[in-house]
Amino acid sequence: MVIIGQDPYHGFGQANGMCFSVSAGVKHPPSLVNIFKEMQKDMNVPYPKTGDLTGWAKQGVLLLNTTLTVREAQPASHRGHGWEIFTDNVIRHISDHREGIVFILWGAHAREKKSLINHDKHKILESAHPSPFSASKFFGCRHFSKTNYYLIEFGKEPINWFQL
């Protein structure tokens, strides 16, 4: 299972190497707040205390941004500087060499990667970015329950989304 985002959080001390994740003790950025609100509603679970998504990664969720660095306070500042070559190849490799992967594409930058994924072998879920600017189009996507449905359909273990 792969969640694709845009680029790392651009606030000082926020990014921790996994898209949408922050280290324990770091205030949840607005996008993560909206992700957790959607997860709460979709999966009927309480709002998580930590924003560290390591628990998802340990269950096999790759949390990948399309760009892997950013200048502080300047979102998308490193877009078009070469990271996409690497991340596109990662996405292509997973698509080509694995079966039954659920790809979640959150936001326009992530949705641009749809053409890299074999639609016959994998399931693609896409929506607006969970930022406050587009959250009204993100809320209600139900990607957490849909992912688990497709994972079970593919004969795989569902994700325990509350296990962080």
Amino acid at the residue 55: G
Residue 98 has a pLDDT of 98
96 is catalytic: no
Residue 52 has a pLDDT of 98
Residue 50 has a pLDDT of 97
Residue 88 has a pLDDT of 98
Q: Distance between CA 106 and CA 138 in Å, rounded?
A: 8
Residue 154 has a pLDDT of 98
Residue 116 has a pLDDT of 98
Q: What's the average pLDDT block by block, 10 residues per block, for the chain (164 residues)?
A: 96 96 97 98 96 98 97 92 97 98 98 98 98 97 98 98 94
Angle at 48 between CA 23 and CA 50, to 5 degrees: 15
